[in-house]
Amino acid sequence: MTKKSLAAPLLHLIGALSLSIASSANAETEILDRVIAVVDQGVVLQSEFDERKNSVLQRLQGQYDQLPPMDVLDQQILDQLILEQLQLEEAGRYGMEISDQQLNQTLQQVMANNGFTTLDELSADLLSQGMSLEQLREKLRRDLLVNQVQQGVVNNRIRVTEQEIDNFLASSDGKFATSPDYHLGHILISVSSSANPDEAQEAEAKVNDIYQQLQDGADFSQMAIANSNDQTALEGGDLGWRKLAQLPELFSDVVSELDVGDVSKPIRSGAGFHLIKNIEQRGGGEQLVQQTKARHILIKTSEIMDDETAKEKLTELKTQIEGGADFAELARENSEDIGSMLEGGDLGWATPGTFVPAFENAMANSEIDEIAGPFKSQFGWHILQVTDRRQEDMSDVVIRNKAAQMMRERRFDEELQVWLLELRENAYLDIKDLDSSTADDNDSDSGA
């Protein structure tokens, strides 16, 4: 057992205690809950274990005829709860929180995915499973926090070099993954292999007439429903999203030259005549992104600089700038953003998503040269000035970012397991015996 925290011996005492209530009639003690594991600064309660075990059993008994031995299942559940608690404590150290808005949005998604239209319907279904709406909200909050800390910490541990990106993009796998996606429409005017020249000519005349109508503004999906011999006709000829490598070479060469909204000229194959429409496209071609050049002054809050004082100070600086004072000079004298203060608050050119949402919103809603704020972000209080905007072709940057993200995703699960193992090895753990009515006793062992 490793002891990472000085508070661990104190927490050890918690395990000897049970939450209880005394009856006024006979002073007998009724145990309401008990600690079954001390995990660094937190605990795992018997009630948490029981709730998780009931949920797991309900799910597994509906899927498998034979379950693992109960002591094995108990240990798996306890291990899962310990790892969750460790991750929740990590989230607390990083100051991560789940807002009511995030929680409500997730709850709405759960309802939509399960066909519920009201909270009453969801509550009734939960009660039939032995769970309340508040318990579900707490579970969702925990799950969101765990996911948030995993994404933040694990992704930060994964390093992808420029050479690795180059190698990936040069591979056949990389070329396929980063190639454009096309949402295609298809009309087929079939020609039988036994058709005579007159029948083939008639089919060609028909497809040419359809093509001309489409050029004149006819609706592609309606023309497909009325004329196409392809199996997608009743879906308006919709082929869905395809990459060029997933198309016959006869089509891929044509599709790569189509702009969004364009319809190909008739294409002849052994099956007949085809018309292909590029309905939508993701990736490929010019990727224009609006970049913003801005500068700001940051005042951080502290014990001696509360929100109101920081806001008043920035309001005064804003008044000075609007009265003719030099923004850059005031930023060098007052800003607490070490990264930009020496540059007069200049943040350089930034693409969308570079900054935190509060800063992004203020920047997006500001006119050039306007002094915006004061407004608050997680870093403190700001005033900012947008000095310029431009459209920049980010095609190569977008492709390389996509490649890097794909490589991080491939490494995520492995790095996650390494991180969880480190958390477990460095944690103070004191495992108590589980309630015999719920599970077989487990030996007290910090490595359990």
Residue pair 372/384 in contact by the 8 Å Cβ criterion = yes
Task: Read off the pTM.
Answer: 0.54
* Cα distance between residue 24 and residue 21, in whole Å: 9
Angle at 97 between CA 94 and CA 102, to 5 degrees: 145
pLDDT tens digits for 305-349? 999 999 999 999 999 999 999 999 999 999 999 889 999 999 999
Within 10 Å of residue 310's Cβ, how many Cβ atoms? 21
pLDDT confidence bin for 392, thresholds 50/70/90: confident
Range scoring the smallest mean pLDDT among 54-63, 108-117, 205-214, 370-379: 54-63
- What stretches of 196-254 adopt beta strand conformation (E)? 238-243
Does residue 17 register a pLDDT over 50?
Answer: no
Identify the bridge partners of residue 431 per DSSP, sorted by sequence position. 37
pLDDT tens digits for 348-389? 998 888 898 889 999 999 999 999 999 998 889 999 999 999
The pLDDT value given to residue 286: 64
Report the number of secondary-structure helices (H) and strands (E) in the chain: 16, 12
Residue pair 304/359 in contact by the 8 Å Cβ criterion = no
SS3 at position 274: strand
- Rounded to the nearest 5°, which phi and psi values hold at 269? -135, 180
Q: How far is C-alpha 219 from the chain's CA centre? A: 36
Handedness of CA 199, 200, 203, 205 (dihedral sign): negative
Across the range 139-160, mean pLDDT stands at 90
Across the range 196-222, mean pLDDT stands at 95
Percent of the chain scoring above 90 in pLDDT: 46
Strand bridging mode 272-282 / 29-39: unpaired
DSSP 235: G
* Of residues 76 and 444, more confidently modeled: 76
* Cα distance between residue 267 and residue 270, in whole Å: 10
* Of residues 290 and 437, more confidently modeled: 290
Residue pair 11/38 in contact by the 8 Å Cβ criterion = yes
Residue pair 221/237 in contact by the 8 Å Cβ criterion = yes
Does residue 448 register a pLDDT over 70?
Answer: no
Across the range 219-240, mean pLDDT stands at 94
The pLDDT value given to residue 182: 93
- What stretches of 267-377 adopt beta strand conformation (E)? 267-269, 272-282, 288-299, 346-350, 371-377
pLDDT tens digits for 247-304? 888 898 899 899 999 999 999 998 999 999 999 998 776 667 789 999 999 999 888 8
Residue pair 36/46 in contact by the 8 Å Cβ criterion = yes
Across the range 234-243, mean pLDDT stands at 93
**Which two structure tokens, joined as six digits, stand for 428?**
């103070």
Residue pair 58/68 in contact by the 8 Å Cβ criterion = no
pLDDT confidence bin for 16, thresholds 50/70/90: very low
The pLDDT value given to residue 399: 83
Q: Strand order of the sheet with strand 267-269?
A: 238-243, 181-190, 272-282, 267-269
pLDDT confidence bin for 144, thresholds 50/70/90: very high
The pLDDT value given to residue 82: 92
Q: What is the mean pLDDT of the chain?
A: 85
Residues 327-365, buried b or exposed e (16+ Cβ, 10 A)? bbebbbebbebeebbeebbbbeeeeeeebeeebbebbee
Does residue 6 register a pLDDT over 80?
Answer: no
Within 10 Å of residue 302's Cβ, how many Cβ atoms? 11
- Residue 374: is the preceding peptide bond cis (ω within 30°)? yes
The pLDDT value given to residue 441: 39
CA distances from 287 to 180, 243, 246, 308, 405 (A): 12, 18, 23, 43, 18
**Which two structure tokens, joined as six digits, stand for 215?**
């050029």
* Cα distance between residue 369 and residue 155, in whole Å: 36
Across the range 207-225, mean pLDDT stands at 96
Identify the bridge partners of residue 18 per DSSP, sorted by sequence position. 34
Does residue 10 register a pLDDT over 90?
Answer: no
| Long-range CB contacts for residues 396-404, cutoff 8 Å, separation at least 24 | 397/287, 398/283, 398/287, 398/289, 399/169, 399/178, 399/283, 400/165, 400/169, 402/177, 402/178, 402/283, 403/165, 403/168, 403/169, 403/174, 403/177, 403/178, 404/160, 404/165
Percent of the chain scoring above 70 in pLDDT: 88
The pLDDT value given to residue 18: 36
Across the range 221-241, mean pLDDT stands at 94
Across the range 62-67, mean pLDDT stands at 77
Specify the residue for token string 């997730």. 106
